[in-house]
Structure 1
Amino acid sequence: MTKPIGRTGHPEVKPLRALLAPVRGRLLAGLACQAGAAIAGITPFAAAAELCRRLLAGTPMSALWPLVVIALVALPVRAVLLVAASTLTHLADNDLQLSLRRRLARHLTRLPLGWFAAHDSGRVKRAVSDDVGALHHLVAHALLDLTTAIVAPLAAAAYLATLDPWLPLVTVLPIAAGMALHRKAMRDVGARMREYQAATAALDSAVVEFFDGIAEVKAFGQTGRAHRRFTEAAARYGEFVAGWARSVTPAMAWSQFAMSPLVTLFVLLLAGVLFSPADTIPFVIVGAGLSGPLLAVGYSIQDTRAGQAAAADIAGLLATPELPDTGAATVDTGGGARLEFSAVRFSYDGETEVLHGIDLTLEPGTVTALVGPSGSGKSTVAALAARFHDVTGGAVRLNGTDLRDLPVSQLYRHIGFVLQDVRMLRTSVAGNIRLGRPDAPLEDVHAAARAARIHDRLLALPRGYDTVLGEEVTLSTGEAQRVSIARALLADTPVLILDEATASVDPESEAAIQDALSALVAGRTTLVIAHRLATVTEVDQIVVLDQGRITERGTHDQLVAAGGGYARMWEYAA
């Protein structure tokens, strides 16, 4: 949510200052050059004004050539300083974007994997690409515009004050009026921007819902209702934007009119009626151009606000706590892997506990299934087993070693996972399968794909295993699942976390995936999140969760015979 921007005490200014710290020296140098260029830009006008004033006073032309030289020299000096200022700020912007993207990339690799489950890829893309890019105008342009808007009027006012202490007040009257009107127009911009973002989000959601679900909508004869939701969201968005424009446009138009050079010129000429022409000419020549830099700042204010908001978002992401990776322990799983939950408690927000004292042991080579209603804690237990988060109480141990004592790079050589939401990288098929073993020979990649029942399909792709996913071809959900299973087979971790991979595929794909899973779990210590009870009737241990507690455990036959909650779920599923 965007907050008001502009004053130092506002929350989006401090993050911006911190992000700009590495390039502050070059920025200051660029701003100093811009300030010099602003003064050089005023100099020819001041020289021309002095030339006219002295000619009217009868000064011989031979004595005025120094003014002409000053005016001529100021022009190339201004050009050089402007190029230097723009070059310095653009170089600062380039280095800032590079350093920020590197910082974000490093930070993202150190975040808990559970953070990515709670945030879609759009959040990462917006931070690394859009938010960093939004700083460009602020760093490379807006600060220069602001410097000119401050220095040029001050330099002109300083010159004019040497001629008459009162006429400078007349010069700034239109500017003051314009700034007052601009402030009135921007009075509620913070609240308006929040409303605008909400309206935009509602429209985006309606568009995605309408187009993504168009097949289902048509199949069930609900086209009119879905289209009506879309058009209503579009209408609300249009009404908001139109209403905002109606409330802001008059004040903005009058603000720009008041600060226009023609209005300033008219006011100065009118004031000249009360003074001699010799006193008025310098104010007309110099004063009429004072409002131009201020208008330039007004035009870029939205980009400036966007840059400040982007800086706040980037700073917020960089402030997200990283997963501690200070462990130096080692563990040997060559003889089998035993995973143990000991009095495990967990809270996502540090306040509301979602797991309450979980005690669970997964013996080497066994398959344990987690079942229970939605929200019972199944996914949380699995996430802690893979150290997507750290426990807030108790411990998860692998062969007696706390997972927090293992280096992260070592941990995932022992624990692998196949998730229901499969992510393929935009690289070759072989590169996707090699994710856990980048140096694996192609023969091993092929063997893993054969075991995952996907080898023949991959050979049929345009360039076989060299085909780039996401560019040359897009795999179906079932095919992507089998590639992820091949990835897990090649990684060959002794512990496997499995989110039931057949929950959202067609029957043909389900059969192939079940065959692949049989090859995958063989000999491994496996924890399965079960969405359908029929798929886990043959596992070694079923654990029933409810409201973050274990309520039952045993084999399928034992739990059915016990007549408890599992038996009721089984009866309902049957």
Structure 2
Amino acid sequence: MRLFAPIRTHLVVCAVLSALSAAAGIVPYIAVAEIARLMLDDPGGSRTAIWTWVAIGAAGASVWLVLFVQSARVGHYADAKILHDVRVRIVRHLGTLPLGWFRASGSGKVKRAMTGDLEEMHEVIAHALGQLTGAVTVMVFATGYLLSVDVTMALVVLGVLGLMGLFYRISMRSMTTHMNRLIAADARISAASVEYADGIQVVKTFGTGGRVMRRFDDAVDEHTKAFGAWVAEVRYSSAACRLFGSEMAVLTAVTAAGLVLVDRGSLGVADLVAFLVVAIGLPNSILPAVSAAQGVRKGRMGAANIEELLSRSSLPEPERPQRPQGHGVEFDRVTFSYDGTKNAIEDVTAVCPPGQVTALVGPSGAGKTTLTSLLPRFYDVSDGAVRIGGVDVRSVPSAELLASMSLVFQDVALLRDSVAENIRIGRPDAGDEEVRRAAEAAHVHEVIERLPQGYDTPLDAGGGGLSGGERQRLTIARAILSGAPIVVLDEATAALDADSESAVQEALATLAVGKTVIVIAHRLHTIAGADQILVLDGGRLVEQGRHAELLARDGLYARMWAAQEGVLA
């Protein structure tokens, strides 16, 4: 109900219309029963009373149709409104979350919230609410009518339906536990399927499909066991619920009890007909409510997942924002841990002066990418401070902080949009000529001109036929267009061939002019001319200096250089 607060009025109206519609829907059955009673009790009686009930039945059917349609319209309007609002809330909230959360496990939760969880909420609003309200109304009106006809027979009918409710409760007693197990199994199947599809090239090349398929088979087996355990637990209670909730069960009970009472003279044949007409139709009204109740349970689980996502702590914004005085970067005794136990960065102190190139090198896992991730606040430091222009990055508003830097990663991220729009991400208000100049500076203009529609050529996430180097230069054009004074390059040329690397290096040289540049590199010859080189190992800063100075110290950097030069030789 917290999520549904914006549509509370719509839900009340929908429930009221559903109740009135259900009440009107039972009227034709009562009318038929009363007509039968009139004709059986007094075959030669007044036709006026009979036609009056005919009119009442027809009016009830008409009112039912009108109110049913209106209830559905209100329910679906409320559904569309709240799903729109929740999706907007989710997307806006995602924009405030630390990027580290997405890298850890957030993408799967986002997908689940935006698809399955919202679909479960749709079922509650658009369908389950009306079905539950209608079922309750039908039960109340029908029971009231049947009690007015004969109390004993009404209790027989209620007894049969009560047994249905009892066995339903038994069958649903552990639904949440089984549903959670099935959801987890579904997630494993999805992950295994994606793994197989994404790695199909490796699977076919090395013939490792059996291992991947075993993981898929294990996930399917777990799903089968989970579903089998649920079925084994509820098969008898569920069958009993269906049995006592069937028309045949009500018909059998009404006929058997009715004939006994008619034989004893305590029930008239006309009254028995009334029960045969009205009571037998009750299961058709109640059974949809059983499914609706299950839908409500699932909807509550979906709403809980969405609420958990929306309650994720946003990246804290400064209470008293400050503006950096310059664009020099300082790491002041920085310590950071992903899990709160082992430090990925420990007591790192360094200054990256404006207008200079600072290179970060070190073995894999040394903490290079982690250190640069603290600058745009993808994560916040555990201890110490990261400063820009003398101001702690935590004191700079997130939008202003990110606008002050251009980030170029090894993994290229392109949107499903035109080439021009992919570049214009760097500055959304940039004109076509500015986009063109940025592409020229990034040495990718001629490549774009050769595309079928030039700058209007649509791209997909894979780059739409562009090579790795061309996609990388496209992201560099994006960074050039932004004009940000701080540039962070995370192994931007690590996966490129020699020709592509040369073109990208020229583009990077244009991007870095007059900027504070931080470069992460594995190929040491690409940063030999850097103004300073920071050597990390095990999350610590172990060496610092220029290329020649570090070689003279004969430390870790010198060993890495010798190893790479030996390979190149």
Structure-1-length-normalised TM-score: 0.87
**1:527 corresponding residue in structure 2:** 518
More deviation, 452-461/161-170: 161-170
- Out of 490, 493, 503, the position equivalent to 1:502 is 493
**2:63 corresponding residue in structure 1:** 77
Note if 1:329 corresponds to 2:322: yes
The alpha-carbon deviation at position 526 of structure 1 amounts to: 1.4
**2:264 corresponding residue in structure 1:** none
Note if 1:214 corresponds to 2:181: no
- Which digits, 9 at most, give the CA deviation of each residue in 1:154-173, with x for residues without a partner? 22112222333332221123
**1:319 corresponding residue in structure 2:** 311
**2:278 corresponding residue in structure 1:** 286
Cα distance, 1:572–1:112 mapped onto 2, change above 3 Å: same
**2:21 corresponding residue in structure 1:** 37
Task: Check whether the contact 2:178–2:226 (CA below 8 A) recurs between aligned residues.
Answer: no
The alpha-carbon deviation at position 474 of structure 1 amounts to: 4.5
CA distance, structure 2, for counterparts of residue 410 and residue 222 of structure 1: 48
The alpha-carbon deviation at position 406 of structure 1 amounts to: 2.8
- Which digits, 9 at most, give the CA deviation of each residue in 1:383-418, with x for residues without a partner? 121122333443322212232333333323321211
Task: Check whether the contact 2:335–2:382 (CA below 8 A) recurs between aligned residues.
Answer: yes
CA distance, structure 2, for counterparts of residue 362 and residue 58 of structure 1: 103
Task: Check whether the contact 1:55–1:61 (CA below 8 A) recurs between aligned residues.
Answer: no
Cα distance, 1:215–1:562 mapped onto 2, change above 3 Å: same
Q: Which runs of 5+ in 1 are unaligned?
A: 1-16
Cα distance, 1:319–1:222 mapped onto 2, change above 3 Å: closer
More deviation, 265-274/350-359: 350-359
CA distance, structure 1, for counterparts of residue 296 and residue 182 of structure 2: 17
Question: Which amino acid in 1 is paired with 2:309?
Answer: L
Q: How many residues align?
A: 555
Note if 1:61 corresponds to 2:46: yes
**1:462 corresponding residue in structure 2:** 452
Aligned partner of residue 341 in structure 1, secondary structure = strand
Aligned partner of residue 19 in structure 1, secondary structure = coil
Question: Considering only aligned residues, what root-mean-square deviation do their CA atoms show, in Å?
Answer: 3.0
More deviation, 462-471/30-39: 462-471
Aligned partner of residue 145 in structure 2, secondary structure = helix
- Which digits, 9 at most, give the CA deviation of each residue in 1:31-54, with x for residues without a partner? 011111111122222233334335
- Which digits, 9 at most, give the CA deviation of each residue in 1:195-247, with x for residues without a partner? 32333333333333333323323333445555555555555545655665565
CA distance, structure 2, for counterparts of residue 424 and residue 19 of structure 1: 33
More deviation, 63-72/312-321: 63-72
Question: Which amino acid in 2 is paired with 1:252?
Answer: S
CA distance, structure 2, for counterparts of residue 313 and residue 477 of structure 1: 38
Question: Which amino acid in 1 is paired with 2:413?
Answer: R
Cα distance, 1:474–1:258 mapped onto 2, change above 3 Å: farther
CA distance, structure 1, for counterparts of residue 119 and residue 183 of structure 2: 19
The alpha-carbon deviation at position 268 of structure 1 amounts to: 0.8
- Which digits, 9 at most, give the CA deviation of each residue in 1:283-314, with x for residues without a partner? 22221121212211334555444433332222
Written as runs of structure 1 = structure 2, the 5 A alignment for 1:9-28 is 17-28=1-12
CA distance, structure 1, for counterparts of residue 349 and residue 494 of structure 2: 27
CA distance, structure 1, for counterparts of residue 465 and residue 404 of structure 2: 30
Cα distance, 1:517–1:38 mapped onto 2, change above 3 Å: same
The alpha-carbon deviation at position 465 of structure 1 amounts to: 0.7
Question: Which amino acid in 2 is paired with 1:256?
Answer: R
Q: Which runs of 5+ in 2 are unaligned?
A: 262-266
Cα distance, 1:352–1:53 mapped onto 2, change above 3 Å: farther
CA distance, structure 1, for counterparts of residue 447 and residue 108 of structure 2: 30
The alpha-carbon deviation at position 24 of structure 1 amounts to: 0.7
Aligned partner of residue 550 in structure 1, secondary structure = strand
The alpha-carbon deviation at position 349 of structure 1 amounts to: 5.6
Question: Which amino acid in 2 is paired with 1:30?
Answer: C
Cα distance, 1:474–1:303 mapped onto 2, change above 3 Å: farther
Structure-2-length-normalised TM-score: 0.88
Identity of aligned residues (%): 41
Aligned partner of residue 385 in structure 1, secondary structure = coil
More deviation, 442-451/247-256: 247-256
**1:178 corresponding residue in structure 2:** 164
Task: Check whether the contact 1:430–1:465 (CA below 8 A) recurs between aligned residues.
Answer: yes
